[in-house]
Amino acid sequence: MPFVPVLHAELLKIRTLRPLYGTLFALLATSTAFSAVAGVPETSDPESDPLFTALSGVMPGQFAAIVFGTLAVSSEFRPGALRLTLTAVPRRGRWFTAKLTAVAVPALLTGLVTACAALLAARAGLGAAADGLTGAEQTRGMVGCGVYLMLMALFAAGLTAWLRNGVAALGVLVPFILVVSFVIGDAAGPAADFLPDRAGQVALYETWDGSLGPWTGLAVTASWTAAVAAGARSVCHRDA
């Protein structure tokens, strides 16, 4: 079967799984709400980076993107589901590529809308503190935010395919971001800059320190997303 019909089928699966709509809505609502709170003068730090403050709601919101990528793939590992899929599309690599594309497209689009909404919500409260942000910086922050959320969703999707279990994937990723990145990462020094979430989040700052910039940081996150290759190999070589 050609790639386009396979992709259409995978997009149809995404549209028919109602919990996935919930995760995308949670991504938008959570990120916007937390950014709006961060922009309130009473809660915002006047010394903080204004662009990161405006987009800081993405930090809790990213977990919704991770859940989206996880659920989109874990649905294939219900009893008999993957066997039925591979009967229709025997080329496992082609099917898995279509699956990842079907995850990436809505994650990217929702991420871009989320970044725009979060930035607008926070700027309303930041006022003069955000006046120094140029249009180019805000555009770069929004695009970088959308790409970052897409990469995290793909990272979760690849790990889920590798582990063949959504609960196991979330059990690895959520503690990794909450504990390894925020707690152990602070003690790891410059090496922590190359963790997948920290590297990608450089794109959310107006100014940054360290060896990574906005696009090189996203490139590091993309390299972590190469875990998708391990997932693809697992799907392609293990029994359904």
Tens digit of pLDDT per residue, the chain (240 long)? Answer: 788 989 998 999 888 888 899 999 999 999 999 998 887 765 555 567 889 989 999 999 999 999 999 999 998 888 778 888 888 888 888 889 999 999 999 999 999 999 999 998 888 777 666 777 888 999 999 999 999 999 999 999 999 998 888 999 999 999 988 887 777 766 767 778 888 999 999 999 988 887 899 999 999 999 999 887 777 777 767 765
Q: Is this structure's pTM higher than 0.75?
A: yes
What tokens were used for 168? Answer: 């196991």
pLDDT, residue 235, reads 75
Distance between CA 225 and CA 230 in Å, rounded? 10
Cα angle vertex 110, ends 92, 203, to 5°?
95
Neighbouring CB atoms inside 10 A of 4's CB total: 9
Distance between CA 152 and CA 64 in Å, rounded? 10
Quick one: which of 39, 44, 33 has its CA closest to 54? 39
What tokens were used for 93? Answer: 């690599």
What tokens were used for 31? Answer: 């990120």
pLDDT, residue 203, reads 94
pLDDT, residue 178, reads 84
The SS3 of residue 114 is helix
Neighbouring CB atoms inside 10 A of 236's CB total: 14
**Do you know the residue count of the chain?**
240
Distance between CA 220 and CA 195 in Å, rounded? 8
Tokens 């929004």 correspond to 142
Whether residue 228 contacts residue 155, with contact meaning beta carbons closer than 8 Å, is answered with: yes
Distance between CA 106 and CA 143 in Å, rounded? 14
Cα angle vertex 51, ends 45, 55, to 5°?
90
